């Protein structure tokens, strides 16, 4: 009881802690007006001439620069405007990394239209037909956002193709489905049907990276929303900007702000000081990742190290499995280890993916083995390397 009482009476530095959360959707998005205005222009006809045109848009840009949040904010603006004019536009945001198959994505779409729809017992083709029927019966248009679309594409699934063909042979040719795809870069589109690619390529919105000044404005705004007045100074926000501007992922900035505030609270400070920011920026690795790494076998850790080193040496975002194998073999020779078989290493790769250690994307899964190439989205390689090395050392393996 006493512990709780003490904690509960402790003054907090947060005004609204949840507003620093990555998934919180702020009312304003500094420096993304241009993109929202562009989206509004592109989707204007959904309001002026309902169901006469469907749009397909592709958004590209690096990780952590507000693609997802901008589209979500745009989605709610669109729905609001439509409602004012008695037009029903539904919005569904699908993260293809979470909904790993077209089937799951389709179920998610249906559930937006009918909450009680059962999860099993239909084929994808059934689902597509049910969706069209719903849309026609209820006279609605749906904006489907396929976020991190590359995850579906890499599996050889072309959901966009199915969704856009669904109405093709009906007489009532109302256009009821619009799509926004979000990918980091357009290279992953190569696996798609030609007509899908060309229709997507006509409408690409490239989100540019934020400048340092813009990152500052954004973090200041998020700090203003979530922290009490005068808890953090401009100079300290600049310090946060400095520690994240290299890869420019706003998520890392929000994370540091949150940690620095927690650290300041823990020290009973009235406001954040530079030490809190320094400590807050030190350990950005999520706890879950640390845990997985701690219990990973040395062999697998060495293989991970080979991947990290491969990426450190290269500037491109792609690296071939063959290249990693070479590095791994060198590491094994240096440490007198017996290298694991290629198929075992291939399994390790899949496991890394599942464990979320590094978001590996295996391009063209059909070409198993040596020809596959691998991508890692921006992760802090140096930090990951440091931790892997430390864990190996703690196991008595000097690296
Ligand atoms: N202009 C902005 N204003 C306020 N917060 C932003 C802005 N841009 C990004 N964020 C925040 O940064 C984080 C990462 O943005 P997100 O949209 O997830 O990036 P992406 O989809 O490009 O990887 C989110 O928590 C988001 O709320
Ligand atoms: Mg995103």
Q: What percentage of the chain has pLDDT greater than the value 90?
A: 48
Ligand nearest to the CA of 221: 1
Which residue, by CA, sits nearest to atom 4 of ligand 1?
29
Which residue, by CA, sits nearest to atom 6 of ligand 1?
66
Q: How far is the CA of 63 from the centre of ligand 2 (A)?
A: 7
Cα angle for residues 110, 113, 119 (degrees, 5° grid): 35
Rounded Cα–Cα distance for residues 137 and 131 (Å): 10
Which residue, by CA, sits nearest to atom 3 of ligand 1?
29
Cα diameter, the chain: 72
pLDDT in tens, 211-224: 999 999 999 999 99
Choose among 31, 104, 36, 128: nearest CA to 75: 36
Burial 250-261 (b: 16+ CB within 10 A, else e): bebbbbbbbbbb
Q: How far is the CA of 22 from the centre of ligand 1 (A)?
A: 7
Structure-token pair, residue 181: 């795809």
Rounded Cα–Cα distance for residues 338 and 12 (Å): 54
Return the H-helix or E-strand segment holding 74: helix 67-84
pLDDT in tens, 114-153: 888 887 889 888 999 999 999 999 999 999 999 999 888 8
The residues placing their C-beta within 5 Å of ligand 2, an ion, are 68
Q: Is 213 exposed, middle or buried (0-12, 13-18, 19+ CB in 10 A)?
A: exposed
* 3 state SS for 342-377: HHHHHHHHHHHHHHCCCCCEEECCCCCHHHCEEECC
What is the mean pLDDT of the segment spanning 79-108? Answer: 93
Better pLDDT: 198 or 211: 211
Ligand 1 is surrounded, with C-beta below 6 A, by 22, 26, 29-32, 61, 63-69, 218, 222, 250-251, 254
Q: pLDDT band at 34, cuts 50/70/90?
A: very high
Structure-token pair, residue 80: 């609001």
Cα angle for residues 138, 168, 53 (degrees, 5° grid): 60
Ligand nearest to the CA of 93: 2
Domains of the chain: 2-19+212-284 (1.10.8.60), 33-206 (3.40.50.300), 289-394 (1.10.10.10)
pLDDT at 286 over 80: no
Structure-token pair, residue 231: 């808890």
């Amino acid at each position: 009881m006493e512990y709780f009482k003490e904690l509960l009476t402790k003054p907090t530095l947060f005004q609204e802690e949840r507003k620093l959360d990555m998934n919180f959707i702020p009312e304003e998005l500094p420096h993304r007006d241009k993109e929202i205005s562009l989206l509004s222009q592109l989707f204007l006809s959904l309001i002026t001439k309902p169901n006469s045109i469907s749009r397909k848009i592709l958004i590209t840009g690096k990780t952590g620069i507000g693609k997802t949040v901008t589209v979500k904010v745009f989605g709610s603006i669109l729905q609001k405007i439509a409602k004012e004019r008695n037009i029903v536009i539904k919005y569904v945001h699908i993260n293809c990394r979470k909904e790993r198959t077209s089937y799951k994505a389709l179920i998610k779409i249906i559930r937006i239209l009918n909450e009680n729809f059962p999860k099993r017992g239909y084929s994808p083709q059934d689902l597509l037909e049910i969706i069209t029927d719903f849309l026609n019966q209820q006279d609605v248009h749906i904006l489907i956002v396929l976020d991190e679309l590359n995850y579906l594409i890499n599996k050889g699934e072309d959901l966009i193709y199915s969704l856009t063909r669904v109405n093709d042979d009906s007489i009532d040719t109302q256009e009821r489905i619009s799509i926004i795809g979000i990918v980091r870069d357009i290279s992953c589109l190569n696996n798609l049907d030609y007509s899908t690619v060309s229709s997507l390529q006509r409408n690409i919105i490239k989100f540019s990276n934020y400048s340092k000044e813009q990152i500052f404005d954004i973090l200041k705004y998020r700090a203003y929303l979530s922290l009490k007045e005068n808890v953090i100074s401009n100079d300290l926000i600049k310090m946060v900007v400095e520690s994240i501007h290299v890869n420019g992922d706003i998520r890392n900035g929000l994370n540091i702000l949150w940690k620095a505030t927690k650290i300041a609270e823990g020290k009973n400070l009235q406001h954040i000081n530079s030490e809190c920011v320094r400590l807050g920026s030190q350990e950005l690795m999520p706890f879950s990742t640390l845990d997985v790494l701690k219990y990973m076998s040395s062999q697998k850790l060495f293989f991970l190290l080979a991947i990290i080193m491969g990426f450190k040496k290269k500037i491109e975002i792609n690296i071939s499995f063959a290249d990693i194998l070479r590095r791994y073999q060198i590491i094994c020779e240096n440490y007198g280890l017996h290298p694991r078989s290629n198929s075992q290493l291939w399994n390790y790769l899949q496991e890394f993916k599942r464990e979320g250690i590094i978001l590996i994307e295996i391009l063209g899964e059909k070409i198993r083995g040596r020809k596959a190439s691998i991508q890692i989205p921006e992760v802090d390689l140096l930090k990951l390397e440091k931790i892997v090395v430390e864990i190996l050392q703690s196991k008595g393996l000097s690296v």
